[in-house]
Structure 1
Amino acid sequence: MARFTPVEERIDTFARRLLAGAPERGARARLVEFLVFGAKQAWACVFGALLLVVLVAARLWYPDDAVVARNDVLVLAAVAIQVFMLVARLESGRELWVIVLFHVVGTVMELFKTEVGSWSYEAGGVLHIGAVPLFSGFMYAAVGSYMVRVYRLFDLRFARYPRVWMSAVVAGLIYANFFTHHYVWDARWLLLAAIVFVYARTVMHFRVFRRTFRMPVLAAFLLVAVFIWLAENIATAAGAWIYPHQETGWELVPLTKLVAWFLLMMISVVLVTFVYPPRTPDPVHVERHT
């Protein structure tokens, strides 16, 4: 698997020249690793960040009575961002397949969830399916974009990764539960326990600059879920969609939604493994552990 796209290769070469004189040990070395970690995370989030900026800008400055509905403008902007990512070679064609999978999986769930009243979108426009504007699928695609980009940028490896079929079964049950819990018993807590059981021993190895670090993969799932929850609060404040409790005025999205996003991480990870199978740490990763 190619670690970087051509554009990222040039950025990486420039960054290594810039940091060539950085110390390898001590407080300054740790600071460099921290800054590089932040820069890589920001770069991995570029699709989602651009989409979030568009959502906020459309709410703040796009007129409500414009000829082209706000929802349609958001769809066109999301498509433009995706095209830009490909043309500018910030994303590979292989990664596009993962993003398309996220888009399809997310849109199907959106159609159901809006039908049962879990959340709703502003009416208007022609680029929609039922009550779901087509830009909604790009919000799931943004998660997919982050997942595949972070996989490359940090050269992710996994120790004691579970059998892929096991994680796929759990992910399938989680996806089904997003639908069935409206009619039968909600199994989310049982599914949460299943994730902990399946991934309890799995450790993620990620390379930042000179060093490779380790983290329990369950902790990584939780951290990503927290950041998605924060982005969700910004998006709902911008009116991208609203939950029933926000109909009379915006309120913070309940922390209980973190459980849903944590479960979504399982689906996300499985979708990514279809394109990038999990790899075990090699001797280089083991030797550079911090």
Structure 2
Amino acid sequence: MRQSTSLERRIDAVAHRILRDAPRRGVRAWLVEFAVFVLKQAWACVFGALLLVAILAARLWYPDDAALARNDALTIAAVLIQVVMIAARLETGRELWVIVLFHLTGTAMELFKTDVGSWAYAADGVMRIGGVPLFSGFMYAAVGSYMVRVYRLFDLGFTRYPRRWLTTVVAVAIYANFFTHHFWWDLRWVLLAAVIVLWLPTVMYARVWRHVVRMPVLAAFAGVAVFIYLAENIGTWAGAWLYPDQADGWQPVSLTKLISWFLLMIISVVMVTWVYPPRPPRPPNPE
């Protein structure tokens, strides 16, 4: 817990007192581990979950004739969430820099993608750059927030992690392809193959409570991409943005977007590794 915030250390102390007498084996032990896993994941997702709640609330209850445009209200809500996260010691200053970087890179892509018609936002509000409302950058920041928080909450360790300079080259190429495929060859399948070759030998170790879960890191990337895809469906249903095939009526986001989210995950992972360098798994705690 050395990298945790002061609030998280207090929560950790309370959790240890509650779990101190938890069984080490059997069904009850498994249920305890599962409950801790779910709670840690929920804590890691808090920024994105709150933003998604705000988007749903705006769809369900925000009046269409309000003086403040819906997109502007979402931008203000996103800023307030971020301020509370920092003021309440839910994020460290180190993490904030990563989140700001996610925000900037995401907004740059949003400006380009809306300009070429990949997706569109409602044209209301004044808190926008071109056709992009400012709250959109916070959706990318939510992914960044999850990535940096899950890294330390689960005390992640890795074996056979690829060299960071190689992963950075691939991440830059993925980001560039999000732009260049509109005018040149779409290299996503080549880049996907490069990702598989680089990370296929890598195993991730995640400490839950007493137990450490190990899995291929590519499986973890894919799992997160699926959850982001599900959140994207909720966001488009709520009208936060729409793809061209949803303009005449909402329908589920194309499954091909899973590849895009998987590749975006690689950009996210590489950014985080420059703040929290990948390290081998820690030895088991004798307690």
TM-score w.r.t. the length of structure 2 is: 0.98
SS of the aligned residue for 1:255 comes to coil
- 8 Å Cα contact 2:59-2:238 kept in structure 1: yes
Q: What letter corresponds to residue 252 of structure 2 in structure 1?
A: L
> What's 1:230 paired with?
230
Using the TM superposition, give the Cα deviation of residue 15 of structure 1 relative to its aligned residue in structure 2, in angstroms: 1.1
> What's 2:76 paired with?
76
Instruction: Write the deviation string for residues 143-178 of structure 1: whole angstroms up to 9, x where unpaired.
Output: 000000001100011111000000000000000000
Q: Spell out the pairing of 1:185-264 with structure 2 (5 A cutoff).
A: 185-264=185-264
> What's 2:156 paired with?
156
Using the TM superposition, give the Cα deviation of residue 60 of structure 1 relative to its aligned residue in structure 2, in angstroms: 1.0
Residues matched between the structures, number: 287
Using the TM superposition, give the Cα deviation of residue 220 of structure 1 relative to its aligned residue in structure 2, in angstroms: 0.3
Alpha-carbon RMSD: 1.2
Using the TM superposition, give the Cα deviation of residue 125 of structure 1 relative to its aligned residue in structure 2, in angstroms: 0.9
Using the TM superposition, give the Cα deviation of residue 282 of structure 1 relative to its aligned residue in structure 2, in angstroms: 2.8
CA–CA distance in structure 1, aligned partners of residues 36 and 211 of structure 2: 11
Q: What letter corresponds to residue 283 of structure 2 in structure 1?
A: P
> What's 1:20 paired with?
20
CA–CA distance in structure 1, aligned partners of residues 211 and 125 of structure 2: 50
- 8 Å Cα contact 1:175-1:267 kept in structure 2: yes
SS of the aligned residue for 1:206 comes to strand
Using the TM superposition, give the Cα deviation of residue 3 of structure 1 relative to its aligned residue in structure 2, in angstroms: 3.4
Structure 1: gaps of 5 or more residues: none
CA–CA distance in structure 2, aligned partners of residues 132 and 36 of structure 1: 38
Q: What letter corresponds to residue 161 of structure 2 in structure 1?
A: Y
Structure 1 runs of 4+ aligned residues shifted over 3 Å read none
Q: Spell out the pairing of 1:3-42 with structure 2 (5 A cutoff).
A: 3-42=3-42
Instruction: Write the deviation string for residues 91-135 of structure 1: whole angstroms up to 9, x where unpaired.
Output: 011100000000000000000000000000001111100000000
SS of the aligned residue for 1:120 comes to coil
CA–CA distance in structure 1, aligned partners of residues 283 and 179 of structure 2: 44
Q: Spell out the pairing of 1:56-135 with structure 2 (5 A cutoff).
A: 56-135=56-135
TM-score w.r.t. the length of structure 1 is: 0.97
- 8 Å Cα contact 1:3-1:153 kept in structure 2: no
CA–CA distance in structure 2, aligned partners of residues 59 and 256 of structure 1: 26
Using the TM superposition, give the Cα deviation of residue 267 of structure 1 relative to its aligned residue in structure 2, in angstroms: 0.1
Using the TM superposition, give the Cα deviation of residue 64 of structure 1 relative to its aligned residue in structure 2, in angstroms: 1.2
Instruction: Write the deviation string for residues 266-287 of structure 1: whole angstroms up to 9, x where unpaired.
Output: 00001111211111123227x9
CA–CA distance in structure 2, aligned partners of residues 28 and 283 of structure 1: 25
SS of the aligned residue for 2:284 comes to helix
1:171 aligns with 2:168: no
Instruction: Write the deviation string for residues 204-262 of structure 1: whole angstroms up to 9, x where unpaired.
Output: 11100011110100000000000000000000000000000000010000111100000
